[in-house]
Structure 1
Amino acid sequence: MTTIGRCWMAAFGLMVATAACGSSDAPEGTKGGRIERPPTPENEFTPRELEATVDNLIAKVNEGTVEPMQMVVLLKNLNPFFTSIATGASRAMSELEVSGNVLGPVDQSTGGTTSQEIQNQQIAQAVTDGIDGIGVSPYGDVNAAAIDDAVEQGVHVVTLDGDVPTSKRSLYVGTNNESAGAAAAQTLLAMLPPPPGTVLIHGTAGTDWVDGFKRTEGAREAIEKAGYKPLVSEAFYELEEGFDVEWIRSRIAAADPPVLGIVGVFDISYRCAMGADAARRPEIPIVAFDFDPRTVEFMRQGRIKATVIQRQYYQGYLVPYILYGIKTLGLDGTKEILAPLMEGDSTVDTGTDTVPADKIDAYNDFLDTIGAVQ
């Protein structure tokens, strides 16, 4: 292992995982051991096309020669959502036997440096230390210049979870947000009586958060197409939970025609159940998003009927393999193998899982098989 991870842990933040560095010991350009990937146990939630695509990428890489590589995956948070990403990335780097770290955020209690600035420093440090590939969960366009500088110096960059499409990054790995929002809406629509009626969307009407807006729009378009009136209730992350719940309550109370169902498109959509209770409308069916413990609690109570979950473990897992593929096969060769997962020219869609309330335990069993229990 190089000193990169140790230096960054001191200077930039928490190192959550390190991978083996066996391939770095092989002479460059010589035939070495094959990549051996343990099989993933079969489950009703196993993403078979995604798993098969990884196998196909490994098979193609194994036709060539060992390529020593150093990489880093930079995350902007280490809450349960990002912990699953870290688990996937660490496992992939271990299977590839590359030198690499997964780095989380840092303590910002002193110095006044923002998370965005620190992440840009991490990207620059990776370039300085000779890293071959960077996976980054970015904050948005604020990271574009740092990403572009890395690419211009020959470092492959792949974004995950969030994207910076204005940058020179090679690929984005994550959720197709329009499709995810539509999936949540379609799950709810199957539970509703025929229109007319209003369907409340706990999302965002603002375009500042591009991914959130796209997800909201995906839900809105599906609801409108089905003949219902979509009504967005702004999700307030930055304010007290009670404010958000009261806003949901007020939107339900004022809706005309009455609200027939609620769909949330963010991880805080468990608040929809709280808002419906506050409006004295506990009978309203609700479909949530992601797998927050409070969402699960409301699902077990029968208050939330289903949730649509991003495959964040697979976002983390795919990135090291993609970075390795770009280095050994080239970007075009890697994209050719990734074709079953590609949306457009530069998005690798990891998809979503729809989990009804009666499948909570089965989904937890699936997460347990891949070591990504949330």
Structure 2
Amino acid sequence: MTGRHWAAAVGLTLMTAACGASDTDSDTAREATPIKRTPLPQNEFIPVKIEATIDKLVAEINKSSIQPMQIAVLLKSLSGFFAPIATGANRAMGELGVSGRVTGNVLGTTDASTDQAQLTELQTKQIEQTVAEGTEGIAITPFGEGNGAALDEAVAAGIPVVTLDTDLAKSTRSIYVGILSTSAGDAAGKTLLKMLPEGPGTVLIHGWADPIWADGVNRTQGAKGVFEAAGYDVLVHQSIYDDEARDVEVMRGKIEDADPPVVGLIGMFSDSYRCVLAADAAGAPDLPIVAFDFAPQTAEYMRQRRIEATHVQRQYYEGYLGPYIVYGIKSIGVDATREILAPQLVDGDQFDLGVDVVPWDKVDAYNDFLDEIGAEQ
């Protein structure tokens, strides 16, 4: 919708602009077809409590008369890490669309640029354009605080905004859906802690220290606090994301120079698998390693038990919850929506999805689960 930089998810031009309604009743409440959720296969990785919350929200929406609404779901990308978010959002928009409640699209950038400022500017233009075209609700994975002003303007115009994956807590968005970085880091740290030998010893965190990325810092600090509280020394190595060879070389040096010796490694992001390369380079292949996210390299090292476990964000549920929460705010109100979401809400407006803890011996079972729900990465 802003030229070549944006593309709609295939098959989701939900042209249900009236869904059988005439021009005379499109803006009034009408009886609606009950929403029917697409059933997911029974699986040990299904987040039962989150599913129960969604069911309750849908049940309350179904009690209300129809409120047709145009929703825009704006994603950083439709591929890679964001593909499961797109899948979930597409599914929710489809379910809401079939019931006659929602029109709209799931949109994502096709620009491969890594220039954060440029991508932020592009997304800001996308927000402004969707608002100008009549969007009544927005679910968004924002690029950063630079999108905040445009979203605040949308909220001031009466458009509810739900942030996904990356929060803009200083904005006037209604609700954030995703992991809470500090608690996610804490959870990952506790997984590795169980595998460590008794101290003294040093834990190397492949993480983030630059305050330019608050979520990265918070996730890293969450894990760091676990090890420090248990009496271990901690070395934080900031990922050199765009240079794997340099990244591994710097970690190798830190492993070799550490005093007391390194007793375990933990990676906080999708490039966690590099911890294996660094341990090998330092001649320490037996060190326990715990990872984050589910990159193909991480999965392969888990099959070899070089990585003991990983922690996977529930991107599918980020995307799936976004449209439902936006519509819930319109249908039953923000306070009623928050009350339903309360079991997972932190500080009243942050929906904590938590993480899936996947041990090495269940890597293929988890991969099959993602395939079954259409959320493979």
- State TM-score, norm by structure 2: 0.93
Distance (whole Å) between structure 2 residues aligned to residue 23 and residue 330 of structure 1: 22
The equivalent residue for 1:5 is none
Deviation at 1:307, TM superposition (A): 0.3
Query: In structure 2, the residue corresponding to 1:67 is in which secondary structure?
Result: coil
Query: In structure 1, the residue corresponding to 2:200 is in which secondary structure?
Result: coil
* Contact 1:19–1:90 (Cα < 8 Å) also in 2: no
* Contact 1:12–1:122 (Cα < 8 Å) also in 2: no
Distance (whole Å) between structure 2 residues aligned to residue 106 and residue 297 of structure 1: 28
The equivalent residue for 2:85 is 85
Aligned with 1:180 (options 177, 184, 196): 184
Q: Which amino acid is 1:14 matched to? A: A
Instruction: Give the root-mean-square deviation of aligned CA atoms.
Output: 1.6
The equivalent residue for 1:62 is 62
Aligned with 2:14 (options 13, 17, 20): 20
Q: Which amino acid is 1:202 matched to? A: H
Deviation at 1:118, TM superposition (A): 0.5
Distance (whole Å) between structure 1 residues aligned to residue 4 and residue 276 of structure 2: 42
Query: In structure 1, the residue corresponding to 2:6 is in which secondary structure?
Result: coil
Distance (whole Å) between structure 1 residues aligned to residue 280 and residue 270 of structure 2: 19
The equivalent residue for 1:133 is 137
**Corresponding position: 1:49 with 2:43:** no
The equivalent residue for 2:351 is 348
Distance (whole Å) between structure 2 residues aligned to residue 319 and residue 24 of structure 1: 22
Answer with 274-283 or 18-27: which moved more. 18-27
* Contact 1:260–1:285 (Cα < 8 Å) also in 2: yes
Distance (whole Å) between structure 2 residues aligned to residue 186 and residue 113 of structure 1: 36
* Contact 1:19–1:101 (Cα < 8 Å) also in 2: yes
Deviation at 1:352, TM superposition (A): 0.4
Deviation by residue 1:33-82 (Cα, 9 ceiling, x = unmatched): 11111322221110001111010000001111011111111111233210
**Corresponding position: 1:290 with 2:284:** no
Q: Which amino acid is 1:280 matched to? A: G
- % same residue: 52
Query: In structure 1, the residue corresponding to 2:123 is in which secondary structure?
Result: helix
The equivalent residue for 2:312 is 309
Q: Which runs of 5+ in 1 are unaligned?
A: 1-7
The equivalent residue for 1:3 is none
Deviation at 1:126, TM superposition (A): 1.0
* Contact 1:127–1:153 (Cα < 8 Å) also in 2: no
Query: In structure 2, the residue corresponding to 1:277 is in which secondary structure?
Result: helix
Deviation by residue 1:145-166 (Cα, 9 ceiling, x = unmatched): 1111111111111111101111
Deviation at 1:369, TM superposition (A): 2.2
**Corresponding position: 1:263 with 2:266:** yes
* Contact 2:6–2:107 (Cα < 8 Å) also in 1: yes
Distance (whole Å) between structure 2 residues aligned to residue 361 and residue 167 of structure 1: 40
Distance (whole Å) between structure 1 residues aligned to residue 148 and residue 231 of structure 2: 40
Distance (whole Å) between structure 2 residues aligned to residue 134 and residue 253 of structure 1: 49
Distance (whole Å) between structure 1 residues aligned to residue 203 and residue 117 of structure 2: 42
Q: How many residues are aligned here?
A: 364
Q: Which amino acid is 2:70 matched to? A: Q
Query: In structure 2, the residue corresponding to 1:199 is in which secondary structure?
Result: strand
Distance (whole Å) between structure 2 residues aligned to residue 344 and residue 34 of structure 1: 31
Distance (whole Å) between structure 2 residues aligned to residue 278 and residue 94 of structure 1: 49
**Corresponding position: 1:332 with 2:332:** no
* Contact 1:108–1:114 (Cα < 8 Å) also in 2: no
* Contact 2:206–2:265 (Cα < 8 Å) also in 1: yes
The equivalent residue for 2:202 is 198
Q: Which runs of 5+ in 2 are unaligned?
A: none
Deviation at 1:21, TM superposition (A): 4.6
Distance (whole Å) between structure 2 residues aligned to residue 284 and residue 79 of structure 1: 33
Deviation at 1:182, TM superposition (A): 1.0
Aligned with 1:164 (options 148, 152, 168): 168
Q: CA 1:11–1:153 in structure 2 vs 1: closer, same or farther (change >3 Å)?
A: farther
Deviation at 1:366, TM superposition (A): 1.4
Q: Which runs of 4+ in 1 moved over 6 A?
A: none
Distance (whole Å) between structure 1 residues aligned to residue 269 and residue 86 of structure 2: 20
Query: In structure 2, the residue corresponding to 1:216 is in which secondary structure?
Result: helix
Q: CA 1:108–1:179 in structure 2 vs 1: closer, same or farther (change >3 Å)?
A: closer
